[in-house]
Chains A and B, each alone.
Chain A
């Protein structure tokens, strides 16, 4: 009798735990980030933020020391390459300023916003990939700093993703490479619009809905289309064309896009305080 009871108890405990977990899962799916579960999650992240920052300040110097010791040669080479790039970019910028002035005038006439004028919150990337299953990162700004869910996140070079969840001091950003992310894009020259869908970490984006006839070359830049109801404002660079082409009789092009931003090595980003027009 006693033996029977003792060997049944672990199984009973397991069943109880599994049922509890299933209940939590169902609750989470139903409330989807809001409600009690959302509040507990937000609270936990906010409570943990100081611990994270403290550990970061303790361990970052050690990490940096090892990184620099191991990669000194690489760093020197990269430094030289970046200086050269910077010089080139400066020259290009001077040439582009004229064209930009004209463009702004035209856009202002048509009452469209563009990324340069949107107020932004600068944020540091706390954790570049929180999970092995969702392509999200965590930044150190939250509702306390004016960040809200749905806001686009960019760097100086282009689009990173958008904010999906916020607590008071932390926000979660869904990257454009996540399979559930889709970004409305436009071909700069022809004005063709399509949708760029993520395909996983370190993979290029797939672009749907571009006509087979549209001529595209490797290196062409696609920007956000910013169409009505679009989640992202217009004119933000998304990626460069890697491969294009269409099979005979296909309804759309086979187009892949390499993200403009190096999503693996982000340290600082900007959250654009922008929401779609109602």
Chain B
């Protein structure tokens, strides 16, 4: 991609990520879905994987995760690591399938979110925060996944706009 087009894509995606951050930290600061706090930054990472290729998914995941870490009392880099891996994996399995059935993005968001939350807790346990892994983890994963699945379609559309829709067909 030419440099000017790259900058334009970066600007659009940055705007989206910033919007998600404001949503997550300010607008939805007190929202709880059956006791679970939604994770819109994860949605951005998963949607980026669906709308772009694996590389775009990894980069956007990293940035979204890093911002999420910055405003969270949890270890810095944990979400950056998890979201970039999840964004990459979603990106590599999604190429080409995305337009076939309308509910594929919803299902992908659901599954990817559960995997991401569990992976997050497992990595945290490996670096000394073993208390993250408990029964509550299942509820957290479920709550986050349901909200992300509900918002999957608009999120993918937004990320497709941000990343440039030609990415969907490129390999």
Binding site for B on A (CB under 8 A): 6, 9-10, 13-14, 17-18, 20-25, 27-29, 37, 40-41, 44-45, 48, 51-52, 54-56, 59, 63, 126-134, 136, 164-165, 172, 179-180, 200-202
Contacts and interface: CB of A to CB of B under 8 A. Distances in A.
B73 A172 contact: yes
A25 B81 contact: yes
A127 B62 contact: no
A24 B76 contact: yes
B80 A13 contact: no
Interface in B21-79: 22, 25-27, 29-30, 32, 35-37, 39, 53-55, 58-59, 62, 65-66, 69-78
B75 A25 contact: yes
Contacts of A40: 70
Contact of B85 (A14, A37, A201, A202): A14
B77 A24 contact: yes
B32 A29 contact: no
Contacts, number: 128
A18 B84 contact: yes
A43 B73 CA distance: 14
Interface stretch (B100-108, B120-128, B149-157): B120-128
Contact of A165 (B25, B73, B131, B144): B73
B73 A14 contact: no
A56 B29 contact: yes
12 contacts: A10-B53, A10-B54, A23-B77, A55-B26, A55-B29, A56-B26, A129-B37, A131-B74, A133-B120, A133-B129, A136-B73, A200-B134
Interface of A, secondary structure class, is helix
A14 B71 contact: no
B29 A133 contact: no
A27 B76 CA distance: 9
A133 B53 CA distance: 30
Nearest to B37: A132
Interface in B85-134: 85, 88, 91-92, 117, 120-121, 124, 127-129, 131-132, 134
B148 interface: no
Given A20-B62, A59-B27, 20 more contacts: A13-B55, A18-B81, A20-B80, A21-B65, A21-B81, A22-B81, A24-B66, A24-B69, A24-B77, A25-B75, A25-B77, A27-B77, A48-B26, A127-B30, A132-B143, A133-B74, A134-B73, A134-B74, A164-B73, A179-B131
The 5 closest A-B pairs by CB, nearest first: A24-B77, A55-B26, A21-B81, A25-B77, A10-B55
A204 B105 CA distance: 40
B124 A37 contact: no
B54 A21 contact: no
Contacts of B143: 132
B117 to A, nearest CB: 8
Contacts of A133: 74, 120-121, 124, 129, 132, 140
Nearest to A126: B29
B136 interface: yes
A126 to B, nearest CB: 7
B87 to A, nearest CB: 9
